[in-house]
């Protein structure tokens, strides 16, 4: 319902019996307010208002006309016994100012009251719609129900859209959406009608990822305001729903991160309690696993990882879990049989294709070997994370490093860089002393021979018990646990880079 113009008001009660004595050339203005003035008082007049006053002397009325004209008044209504009591100069002034002047014979206060009700009728109807909508929104728990409610209350096409204009609820918008992640509510008109776009912000420090959109045909300004207000009201419910979904996801993400951390720190013998938690997380531990670790280059805090999890999940085509880690994400692919080299190359090719598609992120990845069962899952994930640290765009490196023979050669070539050499010096510590040369050689041989004490003894020509004693001494000097696959891989690389 649109607000009436001055011409409309003069055609209906209480002004249909009024006489317009001046300013009749400017009757299509739409009044903004109604103000009743007592004789002798001229308070601040709202712009575009209708001014209603009692009987005034000629000069007083002319003075009033000049003052309210400066405030862009839309109509002056004055109560006199007969129009003949007006000065002719007053009529001339109203004509010259193009300010409509109407004369009534009724009660000016009652006239002002009835005009106020008429002027604010669209706003009252607007308020009733919003009040009804707010009441019905109470208790609505999901986005689809909110959009359905908007459609029924407003009678317009409404939708909830996400990134890339994907419709999450409602009807596909017919018109192009001018989405700007930096702005607030937007409205625009084109040849087809009116569109309103309201962003949904869940976090204060991140751009919106959802938008409520409403489309309709050509409408008046008051209806447009009603639609915009209704969408902003409904946006509160959508925000609450999105925040609840995020909290649930973050709670699950925290649980998954904790379980994976315990799984990776358990070593070859995974405790039953950890196995039970992994099953509760919905993870399949049987079968052959290929670990994948996605490293967020430049990420410095858990928030950097958490804020990009959805984008990473959308980009990946794997069906496995995606677990947040301190530096990125771990995932894995599980098959009933050991993956063939072709299958592993397909995984690497997919990663190379999708990682650049994650917006505002620099991602690299490591892919571990296919290994069997829960202990194999631990080892392949550790291997994948270590490999990801050597991935990148520097010389001798690739975006995705994987544990085939060529990948190992690239990894060892990259390990000669100065930063890795310095890291190896810190890791090996006391073993680099000439006095511990036998220990260093024993460690390197042991790691080259896939951690076999027997093979190491045969290669070095010493007794197996001597190898075991040396390994125990190495653990003591380095403060390292050689049963941990992550420690073994890191030390192996350090030995090659020293």
Domains for the chain: give ranges and CATH numbers. Answer: 6-119 (3.40.1390.20), 127-243 (3.30.450.40), 268-412 (3.30.70), 415-498 (1.10.10.2840)
Q: How many residues does the chain have?
A: 498
Quote the Cα angle for 90-96-99, to 5°.
75
User: pLDDT tens digits, residue range 77-117?
Assistant: 998 766 557 788 888 999 999 999 999 888 888 888 888 88
pLDDT the model gives residue 421: 54
User: pLDDT tens digits, residue range 272-310?
Assistant: 788 778 877 778 888 899 999 988 887 656 677 877 887
| Sequence-separated (6 or more) residues with CB below 8 Å from residue 378 | 263, 264, 266, 267, 268, 270, 485
- Largest Cα separation within the chain, whole Å, is 130
Task: Please determine, for residue 416, whether its predicted confidence score (pLDDT) is greater than 80.
Answer: no
User: Which of 240, 241, 360 has its CA nearest to residue 305?
Assistant: 360
Task: Please determine, for residue 370, whether its predicted confidence score (pLDDT) is greater than 80.
Answer: yes
pLDDT the model gives residue 81: 66
Q: Is pTM, for the whole model, over 0.85?
A: no
Confidence of residue 75 (pLDDT cuts 50, 70, 90): very high
pLDDT the model gives residue 300: 55
Strand-pair category, 19-22 with 101-104? antiparallel
Q: Kindly state the percentage of the chain with pLDDT values over 70.
A: 86
CB contact at 8 A, 375 and 274: no
Distances (CA, A) of 209 to 121, 203, 212, 457, 459: 37, 10, 11, 60, 60
Task: Please determine, for residue 159, whether its predicted confidence score (pLDDT) is greater than 60.
Answer: yes
Task: Please determine, for residue 409, whether its predicted confidence score (pLDDT) is greater than 50.
Answer: no
Written as six digits, the tokens of 444 are 């390197």
pLDDT the model gives residue 497: 63
For the residues 259-279, what does the mean pLDDT come to? 80
Task: Please determine, for residue 374, whether its predicted confidence score (pLDDT) is greater than 80.
Answer: yes
CB contact at 8 A, 282 and 322: no
């Amino acid at each position: 319902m649109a607000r009436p113009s001055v011409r409309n008001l003069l055609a209906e009660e209480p002004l249909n019996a009024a006489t317009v004595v001046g300013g009749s050339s400017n009757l299509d203005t739409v009044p903004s307010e109604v103000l009743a003035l007592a004789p002798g008082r001229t308070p601040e007049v709202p712009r575009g208002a209708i001014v209603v006053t009692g009987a005034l002397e000629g000069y007083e009325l002319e003075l009033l006309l000049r003052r309210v004209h400066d405030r862009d008044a839309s109509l002056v209504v004055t109560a006199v016994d007969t129009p003949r009591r007006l000065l002719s100069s007053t009529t001339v002034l109203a004509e010259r100012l193009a300010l409509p002047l109407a004369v009534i014979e009724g009660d000016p206060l009652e006239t002002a009251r009835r005009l106020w009700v008429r002027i604010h009728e669209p706003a009252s109807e607007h308020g009733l719609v919003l009040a009804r909508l707010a009441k019905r929104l109470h208790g609505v728990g999901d986005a689809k129900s909110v959009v359905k409610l908007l459609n029924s209350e407003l009678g317009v096409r409404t939708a909830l859209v996400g990134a890339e204009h994907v419709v999450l609820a409602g009807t596909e918008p017919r018109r192009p959406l001018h989405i700007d992640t930096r702005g607030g509510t937007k409205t625009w008109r084109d040849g087809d009608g009116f569109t309103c776009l309201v962003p949904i912000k869940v976090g204060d420090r991140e751009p919106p990822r959802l938008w409520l959109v409403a489309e309709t045909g050509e409408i008046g300004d008051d209806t447009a305001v009603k639609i915009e207000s209704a969408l902003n009201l409904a946006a509160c419910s959508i925000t609450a729903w999105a925040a609840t979904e995020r909290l649930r996801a973050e709670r699950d993400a925290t649980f998954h991160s904790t379980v994976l951390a315990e799984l990776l720190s358990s070593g070859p013998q995974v405790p039953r309690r950890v196995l039970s938690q992994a099953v509760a997380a919905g993870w399949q531990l049987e079968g052959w696993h290929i670990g994948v670790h996605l490293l967020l280059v430049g990420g410095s805090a858990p928030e950097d990882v958490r804020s990009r999890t959805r984008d990473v999940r959308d980009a990946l085509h794997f069906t496995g879990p995606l677990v947040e880690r301190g530096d990125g994400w771990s995932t894995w692919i599980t098959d009933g049989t050991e993956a063939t080299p072709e299958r592993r190359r397909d995984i690497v090719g997919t990663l190379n294709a999708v990682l650049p598609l994650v917006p505002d992120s620099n991602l690299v990845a490591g892919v571990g070997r296919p290994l069997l069962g829960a202990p194999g899952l631990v080892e392949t994930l550790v291997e994948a994370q270590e490999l990801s640290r050597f991935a990148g765009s520097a010389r001798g490196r690739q975006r995705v490093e994987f544990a085939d023979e060529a990948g190992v050669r690239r990894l060892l070539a990259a390990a000669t860089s100065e930063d890795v050499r310095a890291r190896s010096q810190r890791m090996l510590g006391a073993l680099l002393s000439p006095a511990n040369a036998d220990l260093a050689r024993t460690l390197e041989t042991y790691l080259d021979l896939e951690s076999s004490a027997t093979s190491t003894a045969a290669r070095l020509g010493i007794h197996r018990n001597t190898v075991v004693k040396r390994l125990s001494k190495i653990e003591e000097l380095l403060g390292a646990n050689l049963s941990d696959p992550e420690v073994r891989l890191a030390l192996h690389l350090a030995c090659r880079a020293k």
